Structure formats: C-alpha cells, structure tokens
Amino acid sequence: MNSQFRSGGAILGLWLIQLMPAPAVEMPVIRQAIDKGVQALKRMPIDRDARVGAWALAGLTLLECGTSEMDPVILHAAELLRKKSVSLTGTYDLSLTLMFMDRLGDPRDVELIQSMGVRLLGGQNAAGGWGYECPANGPEEERRLTEIVEKRTELRGTRDAPKAARAPQERPVLPKEIQAQLDRFAKGEAVIVNDPNRFRMGDNSNTQFAILGLWVARRHGVPVEAALGGVEQRFRKSQNGDGGWGYLPDQSSTATMTCAGLLGLAVGHGVANETVLRTAPAATETKPLKKSKTNLGDPSKDPAVRAGLLALATAIGHPAAKTKGMPPIIRRGFRNRIYYFFWSLERVAVAYDLKTIGNKDWYAWGSEILVASQGMDGTWDGDYGPQIDTCFALLFLQRANLASDLTANLKGKTRDPGEVTLRSGGVGGQQLSGKGTAPGFDILRKPSSGVPPDSGSTSAPSSRDQPTRSSPDPPENDWTKEAARLSEQLIRATGPQQEKIIEEYQKAKGPAYTKAMALAIPQISGGSRTKVRDALAERLMRMTASTLREKLKDQDPEIRYAGARACASKEETEHIPDLIGLLDDPAPQVMRAARAGLKHLSGGKDFGPKSDASASDKAQAIAEWKKWWGNRGSGRPLP
C-alpha cells in the first residue's frame, strides 16, 4: 500500500506488474537484499502504541538475519518486551515474544519464557486450537515477574552479552509459582477476556503461531506434549477433501492455512519421534500420548502429509530462469496476505527439510519474486505494512529455522511427493492423496471477491498488529477497478494538482472515491497524507448514520479511522455505541480516534483505554463506557 510503485512493466490483472527478464537470483544478490531489508527494519522506530507482537517479530527477524544481541535496536526491543511480557494475553503477542526471548538466548529470561508458555497452554480450547486471547497471569504472579524484570532493568548498565542458553535436552524444572499457574489453568480456572473464538473452534492462524510458541517453550520445561497432540488431531480431523486446510475447520482451503495444517502434523511427528528416542521423560512433562501408527516413522507415508504437500505445491511456481519468462513483482499494497504466505511456506519446507515441493524449487521461486518486489527503501509492503511484511520477506530469504530441533527430528524422513511416480502415471493429487482434486491455489492474483483467499476470513497473522475487520472488501467489480485507477492518479499528483484532486474526490459521488482515498493514504506522506485523511473524514460526514455505521466495519483501517472521526464531528450522540465498539479495534489510530470521539460527545468524560493498555485494562475501559452509556437511560442500545 505505501511507498512508490516500481516503474516499467505492464499491469497484470489489477495488482501485479511484470519486470524485465532476469536470471535465477544468485546468493550474493539475495544477501544484498537481506542486508538492505535489515537496515530498513532497524530504521523503523519501535512504536510504543503498536501491538507487542510487531516488536517481537521485528527483533526476532533481526536476530535471525545475523544482528548482534548487543545491537542497540535489539537491546531496546528486549527491554520493552520483558516489561510487556508479564501481562501479555494475546496469542500472537505471547508466541512471538516467547520466540524472540528464546532466540536471544539469555538464561535470565527463562522464567518469563516459561510463564508465557504456560499462558499459551491455557489458551488452547477443546478443539485443539487457539483464538486471539489466552488467560492472564494472576495478580501475585504478575507482581513476582514484574519484580524480576525490574531487578534486571536495574542491572542493564552492565550490558553483558547473553550467556549460552541451556541445551534443548536439558529441560529445566518449572519454578513452583509457574507450576501453580499451570495447575490453575489445568483445573479450568483460567479467565479469557473478550475472545469469541475461545468458545468456538479457534482459528488456524492463531493456532499455528501457538504451535511455534509451544514447541519453543518445551525447551524450557513447559509440558506441551498433550497440547501438541491435540493440535495434531485437530488438523487430522479437519483436513479438506482437496488436501488443504482453511482458516476455520469448516472453511475452504487456502495456501497459507494449508501451511498451518502441515506444521500441525509436523509437530505431531516431531513429538512422536522424540518420545521414541527419549530414554527418560523430563520431570515436568506429562505422560507421553499413545501414538498411532500414522504418527511414527516416515512422514512421507502419512497420507495427510502427502495430501497437504500436494495441495501446497499448487501455490508454488517455477523460477523465471527455468521457465524463460519474467518473475512477477508484487505491487505494494497487494492484498492477498502474500508475504504471510511466503513465511508460512518457508517454515513448512524448512521443518520437513524439503528442497522441493511438487518438484518445484520453492526457495528459488520465492526468492526471485521477493528480490524483484523489494522497494527502493529496502522494505516490502502488502497487507500488514512495511514493518511486518518486511519481516516476513526477510525470514523467507534467510531461511530462518525457528524450530531447528523439529527439523532435526524430521530430517531425512520426508520426501517430496512430487518425486513419487504413480502406477497411474505421474503425480496427480487425487491418485496420490486419496483426498480429491487439488485446490489449485493462485496466490499471485487478486481474488474475485474482496476476501483475501489466503485467510478464509478477514483475520490475519498479526491482526492485532495490523488491522483487519469482519466486513470484507466489496467484490472486484468496475468500481473497485476504478478505485485503483483513481488512487494511482492521486498518488502521482503533486502540488496544486494534488489539492484539486483531493477536493474533487471529497465531493464526488460513488464508493470508488472513498476507496481510492483510503488506498492512497499509506502511499503518500507528510502534509499530503493529512489532507487526504481530513478530506476522507469530511466525505464520510455526509453519509447517513446507517451507511457510516457500515464504514466502521470496513476492512481498510483508514476508512474505519475516517469513520470514527466523522462520528465525532457529526455531533450526534447516537454514534456513541459505535465508537465504544471501536475501542478494541486492532488499529491503534482507530482506537485513539474512537476514544477522542467519545470524550468529545460525552462532554469530557474519559474512561480510556490508553494506547498501551493491556487486554484486561482495555476490557475494563470498555466496560466503564458501556456502564456509563447504560446509565443514561436513553439512546440507541449497544450493539
């Protein structure tokens, strides 16, 4: 979405452009792209208003790309994350912060890692999955961990390099306080705030992050075997007939969620193989699960794994050097969760130790596309903004392995199903997998409907880091194509010409102009961005209450932000319930606009929440606003 468009090449559909022919990318070129991306990531300030998961992902990426633990950026991120870790409840936040601290390798962080691992365990539902939230620490445990962090902060002036972390085999015994927390959650005493997914099936995006977090937490003594067994069964039971998985267990397959399913099966095999090899279980582990024959031996003989890999293969292409074609460039702002997919693909391929999937060199193909799509400033930018999407791209290019011990367990045990020659002739998804027709994922094209095909929902890998909402974009029809054209026109204009276009778009009729302004905002900067934002808010002020209410549910955060400002400016108290509903918006600027609007419409009352509020503080603030509105005794009821 933001930054500049690459020049040269013809538009492919709506969202892709082609670049001049190029040979297969050599490793020095890839290394140069990684170095450029790392420098761009380091230049990005750590936004204290951003979700913690974004900080942790950035720090984790820098470490994986070779940044020193003593680098000022890493030291700053570590200090902030240690403080935040004590009260984290978000599944993404917990998983990524836990992985960052493990990768940092400082043994003084072990109790924080253990605590986060236990909270992740408490977030698993009966269906073996996770929603957005996990239970919080009890007050005493939060105070204890806070004291540990504060003592650590007092000693930060020494800045000693982290000592070597404990080897994975040497599972430490959990402290009695964390064991008590584990026991409390096991008895069902956990309280999860504001997460409707908790009471359903959970989603596979949150679940795959929890999988990674738990696999890492097990190195530090957290007993995760039973939970990972539940994950494996979840994915075995919910695999679709085409071999893939969806965002929810009952939804159609997507490429990224098929990666999540394959990761879930991988940890099942990893735990089984380790259980067989282990001579004596660690003191803190639960009794090993009984393993089915499917779980043991060669994952290549597991029909669910084979079917999943065949489905995933349809999302992978051949590098341009092999096809004698031209590698596509992913246009900035491409809304297909594309960079999330690349990282998911890399994790699966590395975990199973696969150089090819479906006889396709996944790394050569992906690295060509990512190198060609890198912005002049060193970033990548799709659904989640330059920080998060740059992290996803760098982790792919670096071939980061966040679960090297899982790879060690599976190394040499998995074969690319594309190498298998069938009696029926060749590799066909139906004959090999027994699951039906392969889905034929096309991750490089804009979907025909507004719902990104690799989500199965509007939820996203870091939806608390980057905003998505429940209302999808409209179908890609004439007006959405027109919106893209109008947006590009606004972006390229300068000076008086741009001001004239802004005024025209503000007054013009039709949804294309609203969408065009929202698309343009992230791609321009300075005073121009402010002018477009103001114009979009004024445009929405003209809308009826019902239409404006729909805009507050839009997938685009800029439209929700403008809608919140319009609600406040209309001076109509009937929009107070709508603004209360935006206080838990994943986009920080939308939440802040909602709070400011409420303060204005309520005559100066302010129950929060603050920008850096924890999940529990945010829930309390929302409850206070609802209570105040309810006590008025009149007005539109809360949604």
Cα gap 304→71, rounded to integer Å: 43
- The more confidently predicted of residues 235 and 406 is 235
pLDDT band for 193, please (50, 70, 90 cuts): low
Checking if the pLDDT of 284 tops 50, the result is no
* pLDDT > 90 fraction of the chain, expressed in percent and rounded: 36
Predicted confidence at residue 478, as pLDDT, reads: 53
Q: What is the pLDDT of residues 385-401, one digit of tens each?
A: 899 999 999 999 999 98
Cα gap 351→403, rounded to integer Å: 7
Predicted confidence at residue 192, as pLDDT, reads: 62
Predicted confidence at residue 97, as pLDDT, reads: 96
pLDDT band for 27, please (50, 70, 90 cuts): confident
pLDDT band for 633, please (50, 70, 90 cuts): low
Checking if the pLDDT of 246 tops 50, the result is yes
Residues 296 and 253: beta-carbon distance below 8 Å: no
Q: What is the pLDDT of residues 314-352, one digit of tens each?
A: 999 988 766 666 677 888 777 678 999 999 999 999 999
Report the predicted TM-score, pTM, of the whole model to 2 decimal places.
0.65
Checking if the pLDDT of 632 tops 90, the result is no
Phi then psi for residue 476, to 5 deg, are: -80, 90
Residues 121 and 185: beta-carbon distance below 8 Å: yes
CA 94 to chain centroid: 12
The pairing of beta strand 16-18 with beta strand 11-12:
antiparallel
Q: What is the pLDDT of residues 360-387, one digit of tens each?
A: 999 999 999 999 889 888 999 888 889 9
Predicted confidence at residue 32, as pLDDT, reads: 94
Type of residue at 324: K
Cα gap 345→57, rounded to integer Å: 17
Q: What is the mean pLDDT of the chain?
A: 78
Cα gap 130→388, rounded to integer Å: 21
Contacts of 496 (CB under 8 A, 6+ apart): none
Domain ranges of the chain: 1-18+243-278+302-466, 44-166+177-222, 476-570, 573-639
Reported as half-sphere exposure (CB side, CA atoms, 13 A), residue 355 has a value of 2
Cα gap 206→219, rounded to integer Å: 21
Predicted confidence at residue 479, as pLDDT, reads: 67
Closest CA to 561 of 472, 467, 484, 624: 467
For 316-466, where are the E strands, in sequence order? Answer: 328-330
Q: What is the pLDDT of residues 195-229, one digit of tens each?
A: 444 445 789 999 999 999 999 999 899 999 999 99
328 forms bridges with which residues in the sheet? 18
Closest CA to 235 of 268, 198, 210, 199: 268
Mean pLDDT computed over 305-315: 93
DSSP per-residue codes, 134-193: -PPPPHHHHHHHHHHHHHHHHTGGG-PPPPPPPPTTSPPPPPHHHHHHHHHHHTT-----
Mean pLDDT computed over 273-292: 43
Q: What is the pLDDT of residues 551-603, one digit of tens each?
A: 888 888 899 999 999 988 877 788 888 899 889 887 888 888 899 888 888 88
Predicted confidence at residue 103, as pLDDT, reads: 94
Predicted confidence at residue 325, as pLDDT, reads: 63
Type of residue at 550: E
Checking if the pLDDT of 7 tops 70, the result is no
